Amino acid sequence: MNGSHLVKISRRRGTKYTFTIKRNITIVRGDSGTGKTTLFDMVADYMRTGEQSGVSLQCDCPCVALTDYDWRNQLSSVHDSIVFVDEGLKEIHSDEFAHHVLYSSNYFVLISRADFPNLPYSVDEIYKIKTSGKYHSFVPVYQDRGNHRYAISRSAPKQDFSILLCEDSKSGFQFFERHFADSELTCTSAMTNSAILGWLDQHLDDRVFVVADGAAFGCYADRVLKLQDIHRDTVTVCLPESFEWLLLSSGVISGLDAKAVLQEPEAFADSEKFKSWEDFFYKYLRDKTGNSVFRYDKDCIPEAFCRGSNSAKVMALIACRNVR
């Protein structure tokens, strides 16, 4: 399944929801009483008895509420649909459930206050429900404050950075290490995105610019950005879609027109083939550069990307103080 899907659901003379789903995993969170369970119940009512339930649901693909008692059999017969799952499902945080999500032709809307460490979901696809009278919509929990820098509060670093922290030691880290080889900025790696919070906790006296793949950072965003908010003068968190997205967006690859893919990834990233947009952009870049000097390898950055003008174009997308 791919594409962007507008969902309109309402109860006769009552509550109305309008929102758009465009990735394989969407998270809806919020406190009790914010409308999460009401949304799930309305989808479930419509699924059981249609408009006789008093619920109207409009979408260009089927919408399904996953029930607790027989969810495995239910999923086995559901394809190319938007599947709503409430946190009341006992196995919602299990590895078995995660496997069903990742190897499915469906999109999933997971309604839960807890994180999902076994799923790669985007920092941009975590929502809360905004209410205005009887009207409800999804609004992002986390905001891009410019140049892919995310923060709970509006703030700007007051000093240059001493460390650039990457989530792993692969091509992205190699690129930054080479770019800043002759500067006073030190590049280092947390080794995994899950280890970034622990690394920051141990380096609270340093001025750190964090770069991680936003397309799969959703699980860690809350704790990392809360820490950043406490240390907003010394920690900045930059979350572009992925390093491969940065390379494609820079326009340095001669002969490659990726404009359509970059503007509307949801039209190309089939949920059955790609676990996340990070996965999609990696495979797209690898395939499109296979016979050129930009031939991409996730484990070893090609020299062509690291040349002066090309490197500068990539860095311009996330520039901040001495990180440029």
Q: What is the pLDDT of residues 189-234, one digit of tens each?
A: 999 999 999 999 999 999 999 999 999 999 999 999 999 999 999 9
Residue 67 confidence (pLDDT) above 90: no
Residue 109's nearest CA partner among 138, 131, 134 is: 138
DSSP codes of every residue in 103-171: T-SSEEEEE-SS--TTS---GGGEEEEEEETTEEEEEESSEE-STTEEESS----SS--SEEEESSSSH
Distance CA(184)–CA(115), nearest Å, equals: 37
> What pLDDT is attached to residue 68?
79
> What pLDDT is attached to residue 96?
97
Distance CA(228)–CA(152), nearest Å, equals: 8
Contacts of 294 (CB under 8 A, 6+ apart): 252, 253, 254, 302, 304, 305
Residue 178 confidence (pLDDT) above 90: yes
Q: What is the 3-state secondary structure (H, E, C) of 15-37?
A: CEEEEEECCCEEEECCCCCCCHH
Cβ atoms of 118 and 95 closer than 8 Å: yes
Distance CA(111)–CA(26), nearest Å, equals: 9
> What pLDDT is attached to residue 157?
87
Q: What mean pLDDT is predicted for residues 286-304? A: 96
- % the chain with pLDDT above 70: 100
Per-residue confidence at 155, pLDDT binned at 50, 70, 90? confident
Strand partners, 130: 137
> Tokens in use for 74?
């239910």
Q: What are phi and psi of 80, to 5 degrees?
A: 50, 45
CA distances to 14, 57, 63, 129 from 46, rounded to whole Å, are 15, 7, 9, 20
Q: What is the pLDDT of residues 134-151, one digit of tens each?
A: 999 999 999 999 999 999
Residue 13 confidence (pLDDT) above 90: no
Distance CA(109)–CA(96), nearest Å, equals: 17
**Average pLDDT over all residues of the chain:** 96
Q: Which CATH number fits domain 149-316: 3.40.50, 3.90.380, 2.40.50, 3.30.70?
A: 3.40.50
> What pLDDT is attached to residue 261?
98
Q: What mean pLDDT is predicted for residues 124-142? A: 97
Distance CA(238)–CA(256), nearest Å, equals: 26
Number of alpha carbons in the 13 Å side-chain half-sphere of residue 1: 24
Tell me which of 158 and 150 has the higher pLDDT.
150
Per-residue confidence at 158, pLDDT binned at 50, 70, 90? confident
Distance CA(131)–CA(153), nearest Å, equals: 22
Residue 50 confidence (pLDDT) above 90: yes
Find the helix or strand (DSSP H, E) in which 55 lies: strand 55-58
> What pLDDT is attached to residue 36?
96
Class level of CATH domain 5-141: alpha beta
Q: What mean pLDDT is predicted for residues 226-254? A: 97
> What pLDDT is attached to residue 275?
97
Cβ atoms of 150 and 197 closer than 8 Å: no
| CATH 3.40.50 boundaries in the chain | 5-141, 149-316
Contacts of 130 (CB under 8 A, 6+ apart): 136, 137, 138, 139
Q: What mean pLDDT is predicted for residues 235-259? A: 97
Cβ atoms of 240 and 167 closer than 8 Å: no
Distance CA(25)–CA(110), nearest Å, equals: 7
> What pLDDT is attached to residue 156?
81
CA distances to 30, 68, 228, 304, 309 from 205, rounded to whole Å, are 33, 47, 13, 36, 33
Cβ atoms of 239 and 213 closer than 8 Å: yes
316 CB neighbour count, 10 Å cutoff: 12
pTM here is 0.97
Find the helix or strand (DSSP H, E) in which 196 lies: helix 196-201
- % the chain with pLDDT above 90: 95
